[in-house]
Amino acid sequence: MIQLRIVLASMIVLGLTACGHLRTAPDGSRVSTLEGDEDQEKIQQIEGANDELSASPAEQNNIPIEVNKQVQKWVDYFQGRGRKHMQRYLERSSRYLPMMKRELQDAGLPTDLVYVALIESGFNSSANSRAAAVGYWQFIRGTGKVYGLQIDAFVDERRDPVLSTRAAARYFKALHNLFGNWYLALASYNTGENRVKRAVMKYYTRDFWKLAKRRRLHRETINYVPKFIAATLIAKNPEVYGFRDVDYQPELAYDEIQIDKPISLQKLSSGMSGVSYEEMRKLNPMYRTYFIPVPQGKKVTLRVPVGMKDRAFAAVDMSYSAPPKYVATEFRYRVRRGDTLSGIAKRHRTSVGTLRRMNRLGRRSFIRVGQRLRVPERQNMEHLKYEQTNPSVTRRIAAQRRVRHHQVKRGENLSLIARKYRTSVAALRDLNQLNRRSMIRVGQKLVVSDSKGQVHVVRRGDTLSGIARRYSTSITQLAQANQLTNRSHIMIGSELIIPQ
């Protein structure tokens, strides 16, 4: 019996790649574990991801559909409590399904993989998860970069339907090359290939259902495959499952132009009569602000409404824009064993004080392994580096706002405190970095302000021009009030005086 277990273990090990060094996957592809990137997470770059899939008949057809109690549970959910969500996802799906299926088919992959985007994001480019996954296919920052997506202060290609689908196709192909099994590939997409590899090698099986039955994977991953199967069944035959009144959106359609200089999307849309800025943003969701960056000597593809190419070309010359001088972006960093705040701050060229302020950490607060911290975006371009607010400005802010501290008493809530100090609940939340679910406690000290003087707390994605528009002032007045020069840059969490 012992000899038999040894033989089985050897066969499994030969069939999978082990963590760390380069080894051979089931189809002969090679893998290597890479460390690095800004969030310092281990991301596995699976080589052979661009190879043609030809190892087994399953790769030429669609993913096997196995219906069992777990799948039926999710079908019941989507028909019941989750019906309104499924209805919305189906209505949105028709906008992207044709394009995404073409991309998957061109990559030699089963087109049913498109329904991963349905359960991941509901085909919503703005989708964000608690794990900082973004976009249609819910890539985390590190994995997105590994599979070719650009992510910086101005561009996040995880939100682009075409580019993110191509990256997802490369990732799916790599996972299938590694496991030779679509259910395990899907489980890996959810939880990471290393975790699935460890489970397979420990329990001598590639049968996803056996691993799920033994609860050898996380609960979310155990539910992921049956949820995918249920969503696929419904999406391919909605009327059979009771979805007879789906108001499908029209298919995504656009023309493309090439630009060779940075432009303002706002200026471009203004120069194209009949086209709104919001419409241009929807066609180009990968851009975080109005600014469309173009590296020197290169060209960038921009999407415009169908039939608007000539108008767009005519408006490009009048749409030139310099990069915003003031930009605020951040990313999520997962704390690893041995990390300290000072070490994280040094690695990402920021300060411990900034990290404490952005993450609401007191001087006695400890960070823990697995915790996700908000960290200012580090940029390669000199004009995007973050700088601390001028100390003299900070002192002027305090003086202008008459900042006070209020100690919470029994029976008080934010609404009562806001009325007492002639301010709003929203302003108190901003000043104390409280979200809608945050609770205040007796004895807690809150920063409060009377109504004289207005201050804006910089948030992710803010630009000086956007803040100026919000408060009906000008960039020049805002810069003068806060002693900002052409080389100054605002930082997430910093406070700006709003001129009266």
CB neighbourhood size of 408 (10 A): 17
- Between CA 286 and CA 57 the distance in angstroms is 36
- Between CA 216 and CA 196 the distance in angstroms is 9
With beta carbons less than 8 A apart as the criterion, state whether 224 and 186 touch: yes
Structure tokens at 332: 């999520």
With beta carbons less than 8 A apart as the criterion, state whether 329 and 151 touch: no
Structure tokens at 424: 């709003």
- Between CA 267 and CA 21 the distance in angstroms is 51
Cβ contacts of 112 within 8 Å, gap of 6 or more: 62, 63, 232, 236
Which 3-state string (H, E, C) describes 252-264? CCCEEEEECCCEE
- Determine the longest span between alpha carbons in the chain, in angstroms: 83
- Between CA 375 and CA 61 the distance in angstroms is 44
- Between CA 167 and CA 150 the distance in angstroms is 11
* Cα distance from N-terminal residue to C-terminal residue, the chain: 83
With beta carbons less than 8 A apart as the criterion, state whether 205 and 51 touch: no
Consecutive H or E run containing 291 = strand 291-292
Active site residue 279: no
The torsion angles phi and psi of 367, rounded to 5 degrees, stand at: -95, 155
- Between CA 320 and CA 323 the distance in angstroms is 10
Given 38, 66, 91, 120, the catalytic residue: 120
Cβ contacts of 106 within 8 Å, gap of 6 or more: none
- Between CA 372 and CA 336 the distance in angstroms is 10
Looking at 22-68, list the stretches that DSSP marks H as alpha helix, in order from N- to C-terminal side.
none
Active-site residue list? 120
